[in-house]
């Protein structure tokens, strides 16, 4: 059996977006469970910490004043307000990780994806997950049993707007079957890692071959 051989490469920013309930969080968790060199981008948020969450693992929890100061200092690669809570991606840790070859996974909405693409286009790979139907999307939201009726109504109303931005993404996958969707998303990740532009060790390797 051949040993694995990997040249040095630059990391990438792997974005997953979808309407709430269409599967991005589940797919993200499955990717993190099987991909060794993939780290979840940890966001700063102003929302209250929930039971079981840990500072620095799930989010960096900050006050609105602290968050606003970070925005003013341009400390975020992207930031947005969602359902009354603010979220942002710290710039420094991502920039340092990419240079070391670390891949980062982003679970963000279309606004976050747009901002990341504007600020770091060459490092971004974006995937949008679509539900098989709006009826199925509503069914999945209700089956989670985590939101009241008003929140479900708001999420469904927002879904149409989110879906309208599908064509801004590099890849679009319909999440009709979870395992099939996961396999397609993982295939995209593997292919993007092999792009010549990210293989920073190729020049030296080919020079040695010719020598």
User: What's the pLDDT tens digit per position in 186-197?
Assistant: 999 999 999 999
Query: Is 118 a member of any domain?
Result: yes
Query: Is 49 a member of any domain?
Result: no
| CATH at 200 | 3.40.50.300
Domain housing 202: 13-41+102-210
Task: Report whether pLDDT(2) > 60.
Answer: no
Query: Is 109 a member of any domain?
Result: yes
User: What's the pLDDT tens digit per position in 109-148?
Assistant: 898 899 999 999 999 999 999 988 878 777 777 776 666 6
Query: Is 179 a member of any domain?
Result: yes
Number of folded domains that form the chain: 1
pLDDT at 186: 97
The mean pLDDT of the chain is 89
pTM: 0.84
pLDDT at 1: 38
Query: Is 156 a member of any domain?
Result: yes
Question: Is the Cα dihedral 154, 16, 33, 26 positive or negative?
Answer: positive
d(CA 76, CA 43): 9
Mean pLDDT of 71-82: 91
Q: For residue 94, name the pLDDT band (cuts at 50, 70, 90).
A: very high
Query: Is 31 a member of any domain?
Result: yes
* 72: its two tokens: 């003013």
d(CA 143, CA 56): 30
Kind plus residue range of the DSSP H or E element containing 81: strand 76-82
């Amino acid at each position: 059996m051949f040993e694995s051989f990997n040249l040095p490469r630059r990391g990438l920013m792997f974005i997953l977006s979808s309407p709430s309930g269409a599967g991005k969080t589940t797919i993200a968790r499955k990717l993190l469970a099987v991909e060794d060199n993939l780290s979840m981008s940890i966001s700063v948020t102003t929302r209250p910490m929930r039971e079981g969450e840990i500072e620095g693992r799930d989010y960096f929890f900050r006050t609105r004043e602290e968050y606003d100061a970070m925005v003013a200092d341009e400390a975020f690669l992207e930031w947005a307000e969602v359902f009354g809570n603010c979220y942002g991606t710290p710039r420094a840790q991502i920039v340092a990780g990419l240079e070391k070859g670390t891949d980062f996974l982003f679970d963000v909405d279309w606004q976050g994806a747009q901002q990341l693409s504007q600020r770091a286009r060459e490092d971004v790979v974006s995937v949008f997950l679509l539900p098989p139907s709006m009826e199925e999307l509503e069914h999945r939201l209700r089956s989670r049993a985590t939101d009241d009726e008003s929140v479900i109504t708001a999420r469904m109303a927002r879904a149409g707007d989110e879906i309208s931005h599908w064509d801004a993404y590099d890849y679009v996958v319909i999440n009709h079957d979870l395992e099939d969707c996961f396999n397609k998303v993982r295939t995209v990740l593997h292919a993007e890692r092999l792009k010549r532009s990210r293989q920073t060790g190729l020049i030296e390797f080919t020079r040695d071959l010719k020598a």
